[in-house]
Structure 1
Amino acid sequence: MTRSTPQIDMDAIVVGGGFGGCNSLYKLRKMGLSVKLIEAGSAFGGVWHWNRYPGARVDSEMPSYQFNIPSVWKDWSWSERFPGDDELRRYFQHVDSVLGLSKDTFFNTIVTGVEYDNTARRWIVRTNTELQATCKYLITATGSSYKKHYPQFAGLETYAGQLIHSTDYPDTLDVKGKRVGVVGNGASGLQIVQELGKQDCQLTVFIRTPCFAIPMRQRKFSPEEADMLKGYYDGLFERSYKSEAGFPHNTRFQSAHQATPEERNALFDELWGRGGYSFLVSNYYDFLLDEGANAIFYDYWVRQVHARMTDREKMDIVAPLKQEYLVGTKRPSLEQDYYEMIDRPNVALHDVKRSPIVEFNASGAVTRDGDATQQHDLDIVIFATGYDAVTGSLLDMSITDKKGIPLAKKWEKGVLTHLGIMLPGCPNLFIVYGPQAPTSLANGPPFIEMEVDWICKAIGKMQNEGLNSIEPTLSAAEAWRDQVVAVSQHTLYPKTDSWYMGTNIPGKRREPLIYLGGMQSWWKSCNVALDQWGGFHTER
């Protein structure tokens, strides 16, 4: 869409063009509202628009990772169990073609400020392109993974080689004969290492905490199989909505301690062979609640990893026999041949817990082990260091509430939302895929559809009752935060530093950013809140 009109006034403005933004635009228009979407990138896709590094692919399997919109899926067939970034970008082009989203979208437009006009009772949204939008309803669908995190190392500005963040990976990067360093060991780091390890380069992987990676079991779908699966879509989608994590998998309501070692190994072998997140979602329920159960999972995983590697020193770094961390409390990753690749002679692993990076110089990285330093000469350094996740993109919008208080100030003593969907002091502002909701521990598309459905129900209820605005009470938001914390304390997540707890960003407050009670408990709370507007201020 062109920007010939620098000012627009709409019923609703949606910020973000990933799954959450596209779904919001589609459903709000169906309600008869005038809506425009603002997107920082040049196309739809959200994280899949930005992520173009080697091996980038989704870790939620098809066909559950897509919009449940028949007009979209009837003429679209997935080619793989876990599609790569290219196919996902083509999918969003297809979504746009079917739903006609572009005509209501401003691309290459970054929101720089959001404030509430108390007199007009409307939101004012300012952008870097001088577009100014006013609206009654504001939907922030900026996602969990947009604001990239660059670690701050001394001397980094003096490095003379090529420095790349995984979200800015160039379309063509020649690594042949090069010395390449990868810093970061989450999903993007694993996928990059898995691909670059196959190439003619000398790869050094700087590892602080080993990733807990389980088999993806990637495979192709034939056109006939993809079409056949559509006969089960209604059941798969319905099962996803009614699950705890947005997946249609079988679940098991049994403790690991209630099974014999033989029974456990039989189940582990079955789920390990099945691939994907079956090993976690369909397994004994208590591995994230009980350290003893977690240790059983860890011991099995270590045996599987060691069976695929030959280098004992590398095994001790990526899968030490003594459990040093709780599996699943950092985001698990899916791999295809990661352990075979890091076992190759052209791949070196460096343990930065034992010997941290202390600085960069023109030639590369310098690590220190006690009093000894080591120079790592590198032609290319890739930071696979992730994002200021969940809250970073919201804070970057410079939102101020109806009293002029910036969101950063409101959250100084901790994130405060109601249900992870609305903010006290912010009438008619709705959050999609944000903090204090199941968000990053749920399969994105079905969970997002539930959030957007709730937003549409709330707006429809407002219209039916002649309400101009709703906003959560401070006491309701504080009670929800207390519940988020209380649920977290019953799990193993707080025992680990992770981006789930906000600890991947220096200076960021340590607190649970994700509601860990599962989708069904969260959804029940959402529906209770909608009934009689419990926990909300309403204005006519």
Structure 2
Amino acid sequence: MSKLMNTDELDVLVVGAGFSGIYQLHRFRQLGYSVNIFEAASDLGGVWSNGYPGCRVDSDHPLYQLSLPELWEDFTWKERYPGWRELHEYFQYIDRKLDIKKDVSFNTRVVAAHFDQEIDRWIVTTEDGLIVRPRFLVLCVGFASKSYTPAFKGLERFEGICHHTAHWPREGVELRNKRVGVIGTGASGVQVIQEAAPEASHLVVFQRTPNMALPMRQKKLDAKFQEEQKVLYPSMFRRSKQTGGGFSYERYPKSLFSATPEERLLHWENLWAQGGFHFTVSNFDDFLMHEDANREVYNFWRDKVRERIHDPRIRELLAPTVPPHPLGAKRCSLEQTYYEVFNQPNVTLVDLNESDISEVTGKGILTKDGVEHELDVLVLATGFDSLTGSFTQIDIRGVDGLSISEKWANGVYTNLGMTCANFPNMFFIYGVQAPTAFSNGPTCIEIQGDWIVQCIKYMKQNGWTAIYPTAKAEVEWRALIMNTGYRALINKAKSWYVGANIPGKIVEPLNYTGGVNNYLEIIEGIAERGYEGFRFSCQEKDACKI
């Protein structure tokens, strides 16, 4: 239920209490604005309120946290890649330090919003019928809050336990000595498979496309070393905004074929030993642009992985001789024991290209070769309607009466990946047409969050009550997204990067691929030029200062 009392005087309504929502609340509070968060879940954390087996971050310490000194100075992480329990502890710690929950309305799901030009305010409706009228609406709903489950025939007939990884019960699911099936081998699939294999009596993995997973190199963190390292944190956080991926490390400044074979091998071995996204983020600067360079990188990855797999057939399914798509065109998951799992006698890998799922039965899954795989637990690791789905699942309507879903039905148009024409006073963070999928989350969130806060501050200082992104600016931003996106190899794979995982969705580049550093330069330039590409208005003309 909402704690909000005065619904007509609210400066900012934030939707979502994950990293971005919390950061926005804190920044607007610092300016003395009235602000509240509506959160559909019962606690802080956004995506990290989930807890499926193996759920953990894939950005390494210390950059997967907010850069506020009052938070990191007193917090000590336990692992290089924290799991969901540690992230949950972190969000509770944030609340203790910043008293976040006093301005959060939990179990409050926003279902509709429309802008009233008579008063320059959003009229926002929640699932339980509450109506609020904030001046500004900031959507912090993330890029993966709308799960996707394919239309499997007979799914409702399954008699065992079935959950999508995005809707895992808080009390957990017992996997020990159970027959477990996992559909999907994306990030959540890889994580569940690693956890389920040692416990299940039998594990069946249903794979359509192999995951080009990278070694995580997980490790426990030494508290003393971590404390000593904190003197470098300010430099690390600043550096993260100067790099393409929002990390403290950057692309290798050389094309692959300009390097000698010896240089290539030694560089790859070094990146492989470091683990995590070093292998993709710090690889040769043309490997995501040219297929011949990418193939060389893939061959190195393939040979490394094949060393860990015993069975020749399984080896070919998990690390094919010929890649199904360029390495990096789909998100590479991080793994710890993923490939060794398939050496276990209790694990079966089903190639859906060879024999697809025919239907779900009461007992399990029937594939088209006539084999029924009997299961006690079915895990749907089938992904999300990413980037756009988080927004289109809400009935948000602009001044022309069109919903955001209708606006984007034939292609996405935004200005700067933060605003939309005909949707005044609405901002969004870590969503479509921003660096989202190709950046460290907190880095992107803070860059966009700071820009939004400064924009609203500028408006209030000058008496403006509404900001309108222009249609011309949208067309120009979309052109930039398309021009840079289509040049990259990400378009060579059927992935959520381009919306190809959702039937009927327009397939197009959905992220800004030019790098966090360049994105920051662009949006700061827009602000410095008086918010070029936007127009302002106010209810009382005499109140406007310019």
Instruction: Give the TM-score normalised by the residue count of structure 1.
Output: 0.97
1:446 corresponds to? 443
CA drift of 1:8 comes to 5.1
CA drift of 1:381 comes to 0.8
**Is structure 2 residue 456 aligned with structure 1 residue 473?**
no
1:482 corresponds to? 479
Name the aligned partner's letter for residue 97 of structure 2: V
> Secondary structure of 1:62's partner?
coil
> Secondary structure of 1:532's partner?
coil
CA drift of 1:511 comes to 1.3
Name the aligned partner's letter for residue 64 of structure 2: Y
1:534 corresponds to? 532
Deviations 1:144-192 (A, max 9, x none): 1111111111121222222111122233322233221100111100000
My pick for the range that moved more, 385-394 or 458-467, is: 458-467
Unmatched tracts of structure 2, length 5 or more: 539-546
8 Å CA contact 1:79–1:226 kept in 2: the answer is: no
Query: Which of these residues, 384, 387, 392, is aligned with residue 387 of structure 1?
Result: 384
Deviations 1:225-245 (A, max 9, x none): 121121110111011011111
2:543 corresponds to? none
Deviations 1:229-287 (A, max 9, x none): 21110111011011111100143110111112221111111110111111111121111
Name the aligned partner's letter for residue 431 of structure 2: G
CA drift of 1:411 comes to 1.1
1:203 corresponds to? 203
Query: 1:309–1:157: structure 2 CA closer, same or farther, 3 Å change rule?
Result: same
2:30 corresponds to? 30
Name the aligned partner's letter for residue 512 of structure 2: Y
Name the aligned partner's letter for residue 453 of structure 1: D
8 Å CA contact 1:185–1:207 kept in 2: the answer is: yes
Distance 2:135 2:263 in 1: 57
CA drift of 1:68 comes to 0.7
CA drift of 1:374 comes to 2.1
1:11 corresponds to? 11
Instruction: Give the TM-score normalised by the residue count of structure 2.
Output: 0.96
Unmatched tracts of structure 1, length 5 or more: none
CA drift of 1:59 comes to 0.4
2:507 corresponds to? 510
> Secondary structure of 2:203's partner?
strand
Name the aligned partner's letter for residue 336 of structure 2: Q
**Is structure 2 residue 340 aligned with structure 1 residue 340?**
yes
> Secondary structure of 2:12's partner?
strand
Name the aligned partner's letter for residue 418 of structure 2: I
CA drift of 1:303 comes to 0.7
Distance 2:79 2:228 in 1: 14
> Secondary structure of 2:79's partner?
coil
2:57 corresponds to? 58
8 Å CA contact 1:194–1:342 kept in 2: the answer is: no
My pick for the range that moved more, 242-251 or 112-121, is: 242-251
Name the aligned partner's letter for residue 514 of structure 1: N
Distance 1:490 1:125 in 2: 39
Q: CA RMSD in A?
A: 1.4
**Is structure 2 residue 106 aligned with structure 1 residue 99?**
no
1:266 corresponds to? 266
1:311 corresponds to? 311
Distance 2:291 2:151 in 1: 34
> Secondary structure of 2:205's partner?
strand
Distance 2:186 2:338 in 1: 12
8 Å CA contact 1:254–1:285 kept in 2: the answer is: yes
1:464 corresponds to? 461
CA drift of 1:6 comes to 8.6
Distance 2:522 2:164 in 1: 39
Matches within 5 A, 1:8-407: 9-50=9-50, 52-170=51-169, 171-368=171-368, 372-407=369-404
Deviations 1:337-387 (A, max 9, x none): 11111221111101101211121121211212xxx4322222211001121
Query: 1:149–1:261: structure 2 CA closer, same or farther, 3 Å change rule?
Result: same
My pick for the range that moved more, 2-11 or 80-89, is: 2-11
Name the aligned partner's letter for residue 434 of structure 2: A
CA drift of 1:84 comes to 0.5
The percent identity for this pair of structures is 40
CA drift of 1:44 comes to 1.0
Name the aligned partner's letter for residue 130 of structure 2: L
Distance 1:301 1:42 in 2: 42
Distance 1:424 1:2 in 2: 30
Distance 2:8 2:174 in 1: 45
Deviations 1:281-313 (A, max 9, x none): 112111110101110111001111111111111
Distance 1:241 1:524 in 2: 10
> Secondary structure of 1:373's partner?
coil
Distance 2:183 2:276 in 1: 25
CA drift of 1:498 comes to 0.3
Name the aligned partner's letter for residue 483 of structure 1: L
Distance 2:2 2:453 in 1: 28
CA drift of 1:7 comes to 4.2
Name the aligned partner's letter for residue 159 of structure 1: F
CA drift of 1:222 comes to 1.6
Distance 1:131 1:15 in 2: 14
> Secondary structure of 1:435's partner?
coil
Name the aligned partner's letter for residue 440 of structure 2: N
> Secondary structure of 2:371's partner?
strand
Query: Which of these residues, 387, 411, 425, is aligned with residue 428 of structure 1?
Result: 425
Deviations 1:34-66 (A, max 9, x none): 00000011111111012x111111000000110
2:542 corresponds to? none
Distance 2:100 2:233 in 1: 24
8 Å CA contact 1:8–1:132 kept in 2: the answer is: no
Distance 2:470 2:43 in 1: 37
8 Å CA contact 2:486–2:509 kept in 1: the answer is: no
Distance 1:250 1:503 in 2: 28
8 Å CA contact 1:7–1:131 kept in 2: the answer is: no
Distance 1:539 1:120 in 2: 11
Name the aligned partner's letter for residue 34 of structure 2: S
8 Å CA contact 1:81–1:219 kept in 2: the answer is: yes
8 Å CA contact 2:165–2:188 kept in 1: the answer is: yes
Query: Which of these residues, 399, 405, 409, is aligned with residue 408 of structure 1?
Result: 405
Distance 1:4 1:500 in 2: 37
My pick for the range that moved more, 459-468 or 9-18, is: 459-468
Name the aligned partner's letter for residue 119 of structure 1: E
Name the aligned partner's letter for residue 86 of structure 1: R
